């Protein structure tokens, strides 16, 4: 049967297509695919069985999905290796059947998430689901579509992390950057150095006397597997040479001191044993996380390196290596640790300060976070670094999202409302258009100094997560903010049903800002 399709556009989308992020090519035909009570799904390729089973589980409270060997099943999954881009998929719905094809399992997974949303947000009357006849051919704008969670300052735990991973999967986000160490607490078990968690894991940003909270290595493996099943790569961050106070409480022999405001803030870059210690830590981290990336932080070292001026180890290093100043010491440290990461078979990721340290662009990824320093982005791109865009404005989700909000951060009055998240990135970013292929993608960062409980975390994350997902997936010419808001309303209802908190941009004046600590 031949179908006549009418192309949709971002200014006049087909009203029945409610998917976030918006697919990049949608063609809607005449008629509907109608399902009653349950659907049968056939998997043509055995290697896709696990993807199909996860979809079946995800659909349990929506519509029963029965896996079958019957080739005339309602839903057909076909893996066609080598036929399309890595994360691309095609979804075809006619009056009798749904077909999803992709070149990879990841692409197939994304096709199933689109279908899942069509069921979740489509017409549903008395257990009868009506899906429009359509064709979707889709692939992401950016390869890196990330969320960072800071659990050093406040710890949220395994079940909350899994809930975030589920939400990321629904939105086709694929990088979970896990900030596990910082001044308030060390949150990852290292077998060779147990005091990192038993001592370094004590306290949090709000309460320095809180009991130790951290993830065991078995917890980490469980969460890494949970994420991988959803095609989410977890990138661990072990902060150095600054933000090291929690580690230094546990093993003070490797401390480089700090400043009056930031005591014991740094590792000691002048002590050879420091490099052995940190490399041993990174070896265990590398074994736990199959990601090809390890994030080293590398930011704000000047906050607490004042003691380096009188530290005899550092002064000896400066003389031996002919380092002109403390910035030179910092560069020496970063390059030396980056070599260790490379030996471990990993690629270094760091905040945009690492551009100043002469790292190999072929083995380094820069996260541009200082929105007030666009020159750092320009330098990183012109020096051939791959870059992830995560500037404070608008992608720091600890910044408030409405001008009436008071509990959270602002930058000279600027904050991070949903519309700025959605419309990012602008073409006017320095070097962005000229070096577009070096921009790996976007990431929202959730710092938790002022996020102390699950309710507050949800409120700050949602629905900006939805806006960021579309900013990272959907090509600029296919985006439309008003259309997005129309599709967001059913998503907010989904959050409500799932018990997931959110800020309601449609009722901003009547929505209280949660600030209470659990």
Q: Report residue 16's pLDDT band, with 50, 70 and 90 as the boundaries.
A: low
Mean pLDDT of 497-503: 96
Going by their DSSP bridges, the two strands 364-368 and 386-389 should be labelled as parallel
Alpha carbons 200 and 250: distance in angstroms, whole number: 5
pLDDT of res. 11: 39
Domain boundaries, the chain: 6-138, 144-507
Share of the chain above pLDDT 70, in %: 95
pLDDT (average), residues 242-255: 98
pLDDT given at position 9: 40
Instruction: Quote the distance between the C-alpha of residue 21 and its chain's center.
Output: 15
pLDDT at residue 356, as a whole number: 95
Under the banding of pLDDT at 50, 70 and 90, the label for residue 300 is: very high
DSSP E strands: which ranges in 242-299? Answer: 255-257, 266-267, 293-297
243: left (phi over 0), alpha (psi -120 to 50) or beta: left
Find the farthest-apart pair of alpha carbons in the chain and give their distance in angstroms, rounded. 81
Mean of the pLDDT values across residues 405-415? 92
For residue 162, what are its two tokens?
């899994």
Mean of pLDDT over the chain: 94
Residues 308 and 314: beta-carbon distance below 8 Å: yes
Position 81 pLDDT exceeds 90: no
pLDDT digits (tens, 9 = 90+) for 133-187: 999 999 999 999 999 999 999 999 999 999 999 999 999 999 999 999 999 999 9
Which whole-number Å values give the CA distances from 321 to 206, 304, 312, 354, 394, in the listed order? 41, 22, 14, 20, 41
What tens digit of pLDDT does each residue of 341-399 get?
Answer: 999 999 999 999 999 999 999 999 999 999 999 999 999 999 999 999 999 999 999 99
Active site residues: 182, 243, 300
Superfamily of domain 144-507: Glycosidases (3.20.20.80)
Query: Residue 332 pLDDT more than 80?
Result: yes
Q: Give pLDDT tens digits for 421-433.
A: 999 999 999 999 9
Quick one: pLDDT at residue 12? 41
The pLDDT assigned to 13 comes to: 42
What is the reported pTM? 0.95
pLDDT at residue 384, rounded to an integer: 97
CATH number for the region 6-138 comes to 3.30.379.10
């Amino acid at each position: 049967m031949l179908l006549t399709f009418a192309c949709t556009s971002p200014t006049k989308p087909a009203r029945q297509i409610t998917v976030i992020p918006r697919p990049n090519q949608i063609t809607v035909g005449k008629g509907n695919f109608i399902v009653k009570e349950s659907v049968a799904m056939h998997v043509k390729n055995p290697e896709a069985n696990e993807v199909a089973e996860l979809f079946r589980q995800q659909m349990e409270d929506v519509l029963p999905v029965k896996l079958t060997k019957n080739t005339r099943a309602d839903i057909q999954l076909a893996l066609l290796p080598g036929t399309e881009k890595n994360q691309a998929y095609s979804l075809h719905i006619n009056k009798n059947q749904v077909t999803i094809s992709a070149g990879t399992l990841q692409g197939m997974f994304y096709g199933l998430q689109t279908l899942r949303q069509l069921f979740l947000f489509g017409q549903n009357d008395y257990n009868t689901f009506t899906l429009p006849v359509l064709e979707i051919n889709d692939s992401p704008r950016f390869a890196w579509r990330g969320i960072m969670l800071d659990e050093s300052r406040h710890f949220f735990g395994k079940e909350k992390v899994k809930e975030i991973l589920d939400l990321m999967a629904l939105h086709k986000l694929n990088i979970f950057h896990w900030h596990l160490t910082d001044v308030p607490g060390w949150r990852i078990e290292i077998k060779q150095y147990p005091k990192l968690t038993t001592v370094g894991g004590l306290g949090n940003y709000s309460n320095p006397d809180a009991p130790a909270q951290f993830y065991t290595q078995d917890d980490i493996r469980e969460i890494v597997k949970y994420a991988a099943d959803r095609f989410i790569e977890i990138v661990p961050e072990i902060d150095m040479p600054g933000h090291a106070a929690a580690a230094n409480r546990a093993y003070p022999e490797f401390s480089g001191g700090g400043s009056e405001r930031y005591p014991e803030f740094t590792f000691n870059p002048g002590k050879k044993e420091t490099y052995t210690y940190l490399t041993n830590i990174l070896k265990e981290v590398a074994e736990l996380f199959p990601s090809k990336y390890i994030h080293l932080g590398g930011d704000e070292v000047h906050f607490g390196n004042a003691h380096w001026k009188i530290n005899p180890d550092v002064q000896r290093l400066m003389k031996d290596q002919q380092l002109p100043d403390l910035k030179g010491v910092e560069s020496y440290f970063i390059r030396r640790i980056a070599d260790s990461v490379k030996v471990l078979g990993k690629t270094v990721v760091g905040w945009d300060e690492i551009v100043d340290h002469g790292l190999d662009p072929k083995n380094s990824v820069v996260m541009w976070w200082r929105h007030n320093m666009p020159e750092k982005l320009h330098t990183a791109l012109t020096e051939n670094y791959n870059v992830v865009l995560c500037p404070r404005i608008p992608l720091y989700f600890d910044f408030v999202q409405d001008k009436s909000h008071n509990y959270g951060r602002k930058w000279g009055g600027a904050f991070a409302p949903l519309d700025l998240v959605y419309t990012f990135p602008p073409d006017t970013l320095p070097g962005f258009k000229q070096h577009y292929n070096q921009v790996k993608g976007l990431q929202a960062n959730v710092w938790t100094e002022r996020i102390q409980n699950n309710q507050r975390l949800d409120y700050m994350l949602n629905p900006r997560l939805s806006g960021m997902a579309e900013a990272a997936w959907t090509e600029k010419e296919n985006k439309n903010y008003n259309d997005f808001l129309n599709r967001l309303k059913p998503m907010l209802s989904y959050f409500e049903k799932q018990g997931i908190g959110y800020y309601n941009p449609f009722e901003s004046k009547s929505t209280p800002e949660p600030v209470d600590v659990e």
